[in-house]
Amino acid sequence: MPEFFFNKPFRFNFIFSGSGFQSTDLGKSISNHIELVIFTRYGEHRYHNDFGCEIWDLDFELIVSESIWEEKFRKSLLKSITDYEFRIYNTAVEVRITEVENVYPLRKVTEIKKKVDITVRALIKTTGEKYFFNTALFLSPLST
């Protein structure tokens, strides 16, 4: 029996016009779900308080040690993906923080932002194929 996966975000104009939901493939569906885990704060999901990840609590935390921060976030994300994304296994998560400096000469402003690169590698259960997900987030900006 074929499985159908829905694309995110939902395009309501397609739904209301009678075309229905837009479908997507398995890999994109898994990526959409991992993004949902990343962007959901613990306790935000009504029925699963442990759905989400710790980045929302860590975002405003003073980063004393980047390696400790990275490991804390990595463990949080790995646990949530392992607990809530059942279509993959042998999951490995990598998190790396870097600083990005943006200079705006006309406004005489320099912004320094923390960039978090997130990589997820796994295997898809139904096919055994390798799965790869990569995204980057910017944490609270520091401006001068």
CATH number of the structural domain spanning residue 85 = 3.10.450.40
pLDDT at residue number 89: 96
Q: Give yes or no for residue 23 having a pLDDT over 80.
A: no
pLDDT at 92 over 90: yes
Say which residue, 137 or 121, is predicted with more confidence: 121
DSSP 8-state code for residue 7: -
* Sign of the C-alpha dihedral computed for residues 56, 86, 92 and 98 taken in this order: negative
For residue 91, tell me if it sits in a domain.
yes
Residue 53 to residue 85: CA distance in whole angstroms:
13
In a domain, 29, yes or no: yes
How far is the C-alpha of 30 from the C-alpha of 3, rounded, in Å? 13
pTM, 2 dp: 0.79
What integer best gives the mean pLDDT of the chain? 83
Residue 4 lies in a domain: no
Mean pLDDT across 50-74: 78
Q: What is the number of structural domains in the chain?
A: 1
Q: Is residue 14 part of a domain?
A: no
Residue 43 lies in a domain: yes
Say how far apart CA 33 and CA 35 lie, in whole Å. Answer: 5
With CA atoms as reference, report the closest residue to 111 among 77, 74, 68, 140: 140
Confidence at residue 80, expressed as pLDDT on a 0 to 100 scale = 93
In a domain, 17, yes or no: no
Residue 10 lies in a domain: no
| pLDDT tens-digit series, residues 74-91 | 999 999 999 999 999 999
Res. 104 pLDDT band, cuts 50 70 90:
confident
Greatest pairwise CA separation for the chain in angstroms: 60
In a domain, 131, yes or no: yes
Residue 33 belongs to domain spanning: 22-143
What was the pLDDT predicted at 144? Answer: 34
